[in-house]
Amino acid sequence: TYKYYEGSWNKLPDFSQLTAGKEGVVKQVNESLIENRGRNYGLVLQGYVNISQTATQTFYLRSDDGSKLYIDDELLIDHDGRHGAFWAFGTTILEEGRHKIRIEYFQGTGAQLLRAGFVDEELGKIPFTLMQLTH
Strand 41-51, strand 74-79: pairing: unpaired
Q: What is the rounded average pLDDT of the residues 50-60?
A: 95
Examine the pLDDT at 129 and tell me if it is beyond 90: no
Q: What is the pTM of this model?
A: 0.96
Q: Which residues pair with 107 in a beta bridge?
A: 41
Question: How far is C-alpha 12 from the chain's CA centre?
Answer: 12
Centre a 10 Å sphere on the Cβ of residue 83 and count the other Cβ atoms it contains. 14
Q: In whole angstroms, give the CA distance from residue 98 to residue 31.
A: 24
**Whole-number pLDDT of residue 130:** 83
pLDDT number for residue 118: 95
State the pLDDT at residue 16.
96
| Helices of type H across 13-82 | none
Eight-class DSSP state of 8:
-
